[in-house]
């Protein structure tokens, strides 16, 4: 049974490399300087996946126990480098076979998985979480504003659980284009009370009668709306797009995806 499956796989490798006439150079050229995989790569990946992976993993990527390729649930894989390694070296004593794919096929299948199997989707590169953590705490200056696992200031959202609530695409958007990624609740606010106090800060919560903010001194304030004489919500994002390179952004995203609550 095992042998039969790997024969089918090999046969489809041949069929497939004939079908994919896209040049390697073309794909590489498209990748350079790009923050994400191209839609051409995702299209190419759909073909590789259908012919070489769907047999075991299923058209929706969920047929192997404990793994769901479409939603990014793996056993050991975290970064794109890990993903490429598992595909080219195999795993679990060959139950996951090794594949020798061309560069364009490999880029394609990784892009297709990272785009959530959606040819129209946005495939975000996911880099190395260890390098990402160093960038988060160092050059990226993220830790100057964000708190993670009990360490850091409270002036920006706590990111300890960000990996389980945001997709790679929304994390990338937040870093590259914070203005469009801004959630309404996260807009900076400026409040003036009838006691003539001005409070500038970040909204945590709001209902009909009250609003809770963290002020610029990191104090949690709960204010009654009847006590406010003015309440402005800014459209200006409170942060600038990151100046990190696209590979560094991929590493930071890799790190953010590992932040899944306080284990």
Interface contacts to ligand HEC, rule CB under 6 A? 5, 9, 52-53, 55-57, 64, 67, 69, 74-77, 83, 86-87, 91-92, 95-97, 99, 109, 136, 140-142, 144-146, 156-157, 159, 162, 166, 171, 174-175, 178, 181-182, 186, 202, 237-239, 242, 252, 256
Residue 6 or 194 having the CB closest to ligand HEC: 6
Q: Measured from the CB atom, is 57 or 125 closer to ligand HEC?
A: 57
Instruction: Determine the 3-state secondary structure of 199 from DSSP.
Output: strand
We find the least distance from the C-beta atom of residue 198 to ligand HEC, in angstroms, to be 18
Q: For residue 98, give both structure tokens.
A: 């090794």
Give the nearer residue to ligand HEC in terms of CB position, either 130 or 145: 145
Pairing of the two strands 188-193 and 198-206:
antiparallel
The CB-of-195 to ligand HEC minimum distance in angstroms stands at 26
Number of H helices, E strands in the chain: 11, 7
- Rounded to a whole number of angstroms, the minimum distance from the CB of residue 42 to ligand HEC is 13
Given phi > 0 = left and psi -120 to 50 = alpha, else beta, which region is 135?
Answer: alpha
Q: How far is the CB of 127 from ligand HEC (least distance, A)?
A: 12
Q: Pinpoint the alpha helices (H) of 20-128.
A: 24-31, 39-52, 54-57, 80-89, 103-114
**Residue 234 tokens, joined:** 């800014």
Backbone angles phi, psi at 23, to 5 degrees: -80, 145
Question: With respect to ligand HEC, which residue has the nearer C-beta, 194 or 219?
Answer: 219
* Smallest separation, CB 28 to ligand HEC (Å): 20
Hey, is 45 helix, strand or coil? Answer: helix
Q: Considering only CA atoms, which of 104, 92, 102 is closest in space to residue 67?
A: 92
Shorter beta-carbon distance to ligand HEC: residue 28 or 233: 233
Q: Is 96 helix (H, G, I), strand (E, B) or coil?
A: strand
Q: CB of 238: closest distance to ligand HEC in angstroms?
A: 4
Nearer to ligand HEC, 141 or 246 (CB): 141
The CA distances from residue 6 to 9, 56, 108, 179, 195, in Å, are: 5, 10, 21, 49, 76
């Amino acid at each position: 049974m095992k042998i039969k499956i790997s024969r089918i796989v090999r046969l489809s490798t041949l069929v497939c490399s004939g079908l994919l006439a896209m040049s390697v150079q073309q794909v590489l050229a498209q990748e350079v300087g790009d923050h994400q995989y191209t839609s051409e790569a995702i299209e190419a990946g759909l073909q590789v996946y259908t012919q070489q992976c769907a047999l075991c993993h299923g058209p929706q990527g969920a047929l192997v126990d404990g793994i769901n390729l479409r939603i990014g649930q793996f056993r050991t894989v975290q970064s794109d480098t890990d993903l490429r390694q598992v595909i080219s070296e195999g795993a679990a004593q060959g139950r996951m076979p090794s594949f020798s794919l061309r560069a364009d096929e490999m880029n394609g299948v990784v892009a297709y998985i990272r785009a959530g199997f959606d040819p129209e989707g946005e495939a975000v590169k996911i880099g190395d979480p260890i390098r990402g953590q160093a960038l988060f705490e160092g050059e990226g200056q993220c830790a100057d504003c964000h708190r993670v696992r009990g360490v850091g200031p409270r002036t920006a959202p706590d990111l300890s659980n960000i990996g389980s609530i945001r997709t790679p695409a929304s994390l990338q958007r937040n870093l590259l284009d914070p203005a469009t990624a801004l959630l309404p609740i996260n807009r900076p606010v400026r409040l003036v009370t009838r006691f003539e106090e001005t409070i500038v800060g970040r909204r945590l919560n709001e209902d009909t009668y009250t609003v809770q903010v963290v002020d610029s001194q990191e104090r949690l304030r709960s204010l009654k709306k009847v006590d406010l004489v003015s309440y402005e919500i800014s459209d200006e994002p409170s942060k600038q797009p990151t100046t990190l390179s696209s590979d560094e952004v991929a590493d930071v995203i890799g790190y953010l995806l590992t932040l899944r609550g306080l284990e």
